[in-house]
């Protein structure tokens, strides 16, 4: 008897638990299914603006390097990493430090043409001074502490920046759907890709109205001067006129606007149209 009671008691609890917690959950989310398709449309527009804005963000961070403090949100991330690693990193600093710095200067020079002169002015003032001091860890840290308490080490600050940059590049790469190896594409290259995309799209008179067209994949191999070395339809849409319209666009887009120093990145390009 007792057993039976116990069993029925637990069964009741189990059923009650199931009804109150699991069942309502399985009922409610059904209504939300439709929201997805609507959001996608808006998201595309948002992505574009995000991609365009990123270069601005880089600019302000660099030019504002001395004033850096106004960005407290990003610091918590680098800080905890630095403290434990501090003793080991110290030795590497002189080697590593110049590299990120150079990269950033490059980025700055290429993207925003208007701002170039300003940066040249700023860079020599701020950067070399700090870079020269890097070997003397104590000085650097002290200086940083004097200037602004939140930033402890210029190298770390730069690292923090590059970390953010990478993140943004990754994000925007994901959004734009321009997929590459890991994070080999940074913000500047992202912008160059966008230029390239626009350039080709402007030249592409897509056969209009083909409602159920399949995807097309066109592979371009590119010479150093931006001309086409080869061109191959990897994936055909099944419509000869659609395929040839894309081929025409590629040929018409020559020479492709590719930065000469980044030839290795752009020497092979896949053009993809998702039907």
Partner 1 sequence: MKVMNKMMQKIYISLLALVVIFTCANAEARVRINLTDPNSDPLPTALVPFDGETGDEQNVGLQIRNIIASNLQNSGLFNVVDTKAHLQSRNSLRTSGILLNEWRLINVEAVMTGHIEIITDGNQQRKAKVEFRLYDPYGSSDKPIIAKSYTADINFWRHIGHRISDDVYTALTGESGYFTTRIVHIAEEKKGDKKLKKLCVMDQDGGNYQCLTDGNHLVLTPRFNPSMQKIVYMSYANGFPRLYLLDLPTGKQEIVGDFEGLNSSPRFSPDGKTLVMTLTKGHAGNPEIYSMDLETKKLKRLTFNRGIDTSPSFSPDGKKIVFNSNRGGKPALYIMDADGNRVKRLTFGAGLYYAPVWSPRGDNIAFVKSYKGRFSIGVIDPDGSEIRQLTESFLDESPTWAPNGRVIIFARQMGDQTKLYTIDITGYNERQLITPMDASDPAWSPLLK
Map residues 169-208 to x or -, x wherever contact with partner 1 holds by CB under 8 A: -------xxxxxx--xx-------x--xx--xxxxxxxxx
Q: Is 255 in the site for partner 1 (CB under 8 A)?
A: no
- Quote the least distance from Cβ 255 to partner 1, whole Å: 14
- Taking residue 90's Cβ as centre, other Cβ atoms within 10 Å add up to 14
114-133 CB burial, b ≥16 within 10 A, e <16? ebeeebeebbeeebeebbeb
Report how many residues bind partner 1 under the rule CB under 8 A: 48
- Quote the least distance from Cβ 243 to partner 1, whole Å: 9
Which residues 15-74 are close enough to bind partner 1 by CB under 8 A?
44
How far is it, in rounded angstroms, from Cα 180 to Cα 188? Answer: 14
How far is it, in rounded angstroms, from Cα 126 to Cα 149? Answer: 18
Q: Which helix (H) or strand (E) holds 231?
A: strand 228-235
Give the residue with the Cβ less far from partner 1, 157 or 266: 266
Asked if residues 227 and 258 have their Cβ atoms less than 8 Å apart, the reply is no
Per CB under 8 A, the segment of 30-38, 54-62, 149-157, 264-272 that binds partner 1 is: 264-272
Tell me whether the omega of the peptide bond preceding residue 82 falls within 30 degrees of 0, making it cis: no
Q: Is 224 in the site for partner 1 (CB under 8 A)?
A: no
Contact residues for partner 1, defined by CB under 8 A: 44, 176-181, 184-185, 193, 196-197, 200-212, 219, 239-242, 244-249, 251-252, 265-274
């Amino acid at each position: 008897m007792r057993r039976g009671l116990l069993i029925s008691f637990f069964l009741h609890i189990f059923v009650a638990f199931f009804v109150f917690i699991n069942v309502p959950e399985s009922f409610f989310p059904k209504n939300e299914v439709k929201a997805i398709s609507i959001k996608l449309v808006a998201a595309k527009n948002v992505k574009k603006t995000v991609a365009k804005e990123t270069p601005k963000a880089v600019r302000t961070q660099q030019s504002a390097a001395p004033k850096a403090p106004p960005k407290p949100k990003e610091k918590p991330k680098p800080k905890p990493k630095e403290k434990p690693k501090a003793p080991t990193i110290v030795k590497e600093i002189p080697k590593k430090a110049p590299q990120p710095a150079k990269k950033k200067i490059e980025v700055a020079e290429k993207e925003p043409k208007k701002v170039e002169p300003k940066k040249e002015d700023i860079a020599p003032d701020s950067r070399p001074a700090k870079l020269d001091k890097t070997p003397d860890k104590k000085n650097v840290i002290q200086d940083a502490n004097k200037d602004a308490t939140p930033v402890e080490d210029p190298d770390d600050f730069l690292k923090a920046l590059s970390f953010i940059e990478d993140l943004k590049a990754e994000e925007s790469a994901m959004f734009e759907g321009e997929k590459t190896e890991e994070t080999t594409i940074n913000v500047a290259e992202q912008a160059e890709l966008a230029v390239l995309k626009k350039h080709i799209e402007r030249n592409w008179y897509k056969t209009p109205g083909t409602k159920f067209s399949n995807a097309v994949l066109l592979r371009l191999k590119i010479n150093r001067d931006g001309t086409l070395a080869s061109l191959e339809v990897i994936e055909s849409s099944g419509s000869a006129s659609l395929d040839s319209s894309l081929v025409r666009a590629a040929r018409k887009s020559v020479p492709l606007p590719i930065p000469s120093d980044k030839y290795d990145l752009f020497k092979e390009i896949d053009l993809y149209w998702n039907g």
